[in-house]
Structure 1
């Protein structure tokens, strides 16, 4: 059983803890927050003795922790992860992993030197139905293109409209729609089709200076992928991948419940998706535990390379729209 520490005391942290413990591979042992009082308040709901930290150096040095899940504000991910990696802890960082490719490359170098693993928690890649989608991609024949949709109105956009600047819509905290929601369809495209030859983002910038959403076009040698993503509006459209022999109809893009193969000639309409569990973070927790315990370097390097490619494309798309995080100006 791997001993899990957490940084970040919000709803997604609770979801990861639940998924990790449901996997039977992890047990929560430690909670970090900026104050011991906040750590204690978060820990209360788990009704067990947990080690509480308000000092990252103490967390990094603790023998009560094998790995740490980081869900602090985006701009703090790198400095938190480096301290833990240098101390020999495995690290799982909630997406988006870091602000720059230089940060990511350095962090992976530290992880390799220390003999530990660094993961980006792009949870949908580990879903059985995502793997089912990958397996059935050849059924549609030569690819003609795809439309990937992930648009969900954020309640924190109401705060922007009220004149506030929540972290997720702040340049100071490396926020914006692209890195928060757009990263999911970007990961899907890169995992399925590889890194695009070129990419273009028609961002709708908001008053805080980040992007609220907008369409993205990824160009490959023989086809294009259109991504519809945003946090200041909502879409109920499914995603589709088109080929010479048929179409794969996917809904939704994460926590996939439906994958339908539709033959162009109407001769086939087949449901491919498997039943899903309520908390799909369990799948990534299981896979990260497997890689750690089996020391599966090949699987780790695949995920590390994928994470770098996604961040490289994401940064290019932001910069096209003159969106630069404070972390990039240091």
Structure 2
């Protein structure tokens, strides 16, 4: 069993840690936190994990084989680069990197360290319900577009009205934040994983005073249909996501959680799909990533890994096209030639 370290002490790191423990896929050995006190507070009773405040020491540790990176978006590139140089496998929380140049540099680094694997933690595409959607699509006579929605009011919103608390990372361009870079990533993953990379991708945002989008609508153009993506961190909505056939369609509660999925046939009859979703939506990705790492060198494992890597690169490119169409830029973009 491989040893894993977790970077970050937010709620998503806690969910990932719980998934690791529930699946038994990895042995959780170390935790990185900028403050040791915060790291200790993160641990539950009975979790015997080394807390480190130095990322370099974490990468040097011989008790770490895999590093899960759930730091602010803008820190992913530097931490992933250092981890790869130390020949550690990495699982990078979505969005993996801020722009295509960062992604390209990571790919170049991976070529220099061929034993290392890099995964983007886009949990929705690793669920059984997503696999059920993909299977049903292959059985439908035709696909004629989709509307994918994921809108969820952020618990960080009240902080925007309190200058004393500062701008939350998720709403700061300095940390490559915004609705598209957060919830919107799941929707772009849905589209690219199911339909391929679009011919064109645009985005119309509702901007916040901080310089990032609080919500927005994107259009992904394919040869024969359009996919509309609607995302927000400033409001919540129960709007369902749908993929259209002709008279039939697939319906899901939203494009991110995929907890309730059904097929509606030509007669309007609902046919439930998939299964009841666990309270922890990260179980699927933890299981799938560990199965590849446990079987390195096999044709099946390598095929699955290369598919996910290409998918991650395509999603990164689509997100960049959408941001560029909306005029949304981050400080991390200025350090690279993004023409």
The answer (yes or no) to whether the contact 1:140–1:248 under 8 Å persists in 2 is no
Out of 309, 313, 323, the residue aligned to residue 308 of structure 1 is 313
For residues 121-152 of structure 1, the C-alpha deviation after alignment (integer angstroms, 9 at most, x for no partner) is: 00011100100000001333211111111011
User: After alignment, is 124-133 or 22-31 more displaced?
Assistant: 22-31
Cα deviation per residue 1:31-65 (whole Å; 9 max; x = unaligned)? Answer: 1111333333323x242432221111111111111
The number of residues matched between the two structures is 328
Q: Structure 1 residues 46 and 120, CA, compared in 2 at 3 Å: closer, same or farther? A: farther
Q: What is the aligned partner in structure 2 of residue 243 from structure 1? A: 245
Q: Is contact 2:248-2:264 (8 Å) kept?
A: yes
5+ residue gaps, structure 1, are none
The answer for the alignment partner of 2:208 in structure 1 is 206
Q: Is the 8 A contact 1:181 1:229 kept in 2?
A: yes
Map 1:184-223; keep pairs closer than 5 Å.
Answer: 184-223=186-225
Moved more, 316-325 or 104-113: 104-113
* RMSD, matched Cα: 1.5
**Shift of the alpha carbon at 1:82?**
0.8
Q: Which residue of 2 aligns with 1:277?
A: 278
Structure 1 residue 250: deviation in Å? Answer: 1.2
Is the aligned partner of 1:119 residue 2:122? Answer: no
3-state secondary structure, aligned to 1:159: helix
Aligned equivalents of 2:139, 2:248: Cα separation in 1: 7
What is the alpha-carbon distance in structure 2 between the residues aligned to residue 93 and residue 61 of structure 1?
18
> In 2, Cα distance between the equivalents of 1:73 and 1:275?
31
Q: How far apart, in 1, do the equivalents of 2:286 and 2:67 lie?
A: 12
4+ residue runs of structure 1 moved beyond 6 angstroms? Answer: none
**Contact 2:238 2:253 (8 Å CA) reproduced:** no
TM (norm. structure 1) is 0.95
The structural deviation recorded for 1:109 is 2.8
Whole-angstrom CA distance in 1 between matches of 2:239 and 2:41: 40
> Secondary structure of 2:180's partner?
helix
Per-residue deviation, 1:249: 1.1
* Matching of residue 17 in structure 1 with residue 22 in structure 2: no
Note closer, same or farther for the CA distance 1:48–1:276 as it changes in structure 2 (3 Å cut).
closer
How far has the Cα of 1:156 moved from its partner? 1.3
In 2, distance between residues paired with 1:282 and 1:138? 25
Aligned 1:1-330 pairs, distance under 5 A: 1-43=1-43, 45-114=44-113, 115-163=115-163, 164-266=166-268, 268-295=269-296, 296-330=301-335
Q: Distance in 2 between matches of 1:165 and 1:193?
A: 36
Separation in structure 1 between the aligned mates of residue 147 and residue 294 of structure 2, nearest angstrom = 37
